[in-house]
Chain A
Amino acid sequence: MTLIHMAILLPLVAAVAIGIIYKYYKRIHLGWFVLPVPVIIAIYLATFIPKVSSGPILETMQVMPRIGMNFDVYIDGLGLLFAILISGIGALVVLYSIGYLSHREDLGNFYVYLLMFMSAMLGVVLNDNVLMLYLFWELTSISSFLLIAFWFMKERSLYGAQKSMLITMFGGFMLLGGFLALHTITGTYSIREMLAQVTLIQESPVAPIAIVLILLGAFTKSAQFPFYIWLPDAMEAPTPVSAYLHSATMVKAGIYLVARLTPLFAFSELWVWVILLGGLITLAWASFNAVRKDDLKAVLAFSTVSQLGMIMSLLGLGALSVVTGAGEAYFSIAVVAAVFHLINHATFKGALFMVTGILDHETGTRSLKRLGGLLTLMPISFTLTFITALSMAGLPPFNGFLSKELFLEAMIHVTEADFASLANIAFIFPLLAIVGSIFTFIYSIQIIYGVFFGKRTHDTPKEPHEAPALMWISPAILAVLVITFGLFPNVLSSSIIDPAAMSIMATDAPLGTHISMWHGFANPALWATIAIVIIGSLLFYFRDKWMFIYDYHKERFTLNYVYDQGLMHSRFASRKVTDSYMTGFIRSYLAYIFMFFVVLGAISLWNTGIKLNFSDMAPVGIQEMILVMIVLISITVILVTKSRIVSIIMLSAIGFVMALFFVFFRAPDLALTQLAIETVTTALFLVCFYHLPARSKHPERMRFKFTNFLVSLGVGIIVIMIGLIAYSNQLFDRISQFHIDNVKELGAGGNMVNVILVDFRGFDTLFETLVFGIAGIGIYALMKLRLNRKDETDEADPEENRA
Chain B
Amino acid sequence: MELITILLSGILIGSAVYLMLSRSVIRIIIGTALLSHGVHLMLLTMGKLKRGNVPVLDEAVENYTDPLPQALILTAIVIAFALTAFILVLALRAYGELGTDDVEEMKGVPHDD
Contact = CB atoms under 8 A, between A and B. Distances in A.
Contacts of A587: 21-23, 103-104
A786 B88 contact: no
Contacts of A768: 75, 78-79
Contacts of B44: 661-662, 665, 667, 670
Contacts of B103: 585-587
Contact of B79 (A670, A698, A713, A772): A772
Interface centre among A635, A700, A708, by most chain B C-beta atoms within 10 angstroms, is A635
B62 to A, nearest CB: 11
Secondary structure class of chain A's binding surface, majority of residues: helix
Given A712-B21, A723-B42, A665 B50 contact: yes
Given A628-B8, A635-B11, A709 B18 contact: yes
A772 B44 CA distance: 23
Chain B at the A interface: SS class: helix
Contacts of B56: 750-752
Nearest to A583: B107
Given A624-B1, A669-B70, A688 B30 contact: no
B38 A719 contact: yes
A753 B79 contact: no
A618 to B, nearest CB: 4
Contacts of B34: 635, 638, 651, 654
A380 interface: no
A216 B83 CA distance: 54
B19 A740 contact: no
Contacts of A786: 93, 96-97
B102 A779 contact: no
B70 A753 contact: yes
A736 B68 CA distance: 6
Contacts of B70: 667, 669-670, 753
A550 B1 CA distance: 88
A728 to B, nearest CB: 10
Contacts of A753: 55, 67, 70-71, 74
Given A620-B4, A715-B13, A752-B57, A670 B88 contact: no
Contact of B1 (A620, A651, A693, A719): A620
A716 B4 contact: no
Nearest to A672: B74
Interface string A670-695: 10011001001100110010011100
B77 A673 contact: yes
Interface residues of A, number: 98
A253 to B, nearest CB: 49
B55 A692 contact: no
A648 interface: yes
B77 A674 contact: yes
A708 B18 contact: yes
Interface in B20-56: 20-24, 26-28, 30, 33-34, 37-38, 40-42, 44-56
Interface string A593-605: 0100000000000
Given A584-B107, A635-B12, A670 B47 contact: no
Contacts of B104: 585, 587
A191 to B, nearest CB: 56
A455 interface: no
A321 B31 CA distance: 76
Interface in A747-766: 749-753, 756-757, 761, 764-765
B24 A696 contact: yes
Given A700-B22, A727-B6, A736-B47, A771 B40 contact: no
A756 B13 contact: no
B11 to A, nearest CB: 6
A752 B23 contact: no
Contacts of B77: 670, 673-674, 677
A666 B65 contact: yes
B26 A692 contact: yes
A520 to B, nearest CB: 84
A639 to B, nearest CB: 6
Interface string B75-94: 10111011111101111110
B2 A757 contact: no
Contact of A698 (B9, B24, B71): B24
Nearest to A677: B81
A751 B58 CA distance: 9
Interface in A27-75: none
A664 interface: yes
A673 B3 contact: no
B66 A664 contact: no
A673 B86 contact: no
A209 interface: no
Given A590-B21, A688-B92, 7 more contacts: A585-B109, A635-B15, A666-B52, A666-B53, A716-B17, A719-B10, A719-B38
- Closest 5 A-B residue pairs measured CB to CB? A716-B14, A720-B10, A712-B18, A752-B67, A775-B82
28 contacts: A587-B21, A639-B19, A647-B27, A658-B40, A662-B44, A665-B44, A665-B50, A666-B50, A666-B52, A666-B54, A667-B70, A670-B44, A692-B92, A696-B100, A708-B21, A712-B15, A719-B9, A719-B42, A720-B6, A736-B68, A739-B68, A752-B71, A764-B75, A775-B85, A778-B89, A779-B85, A782-B92, A785-B93
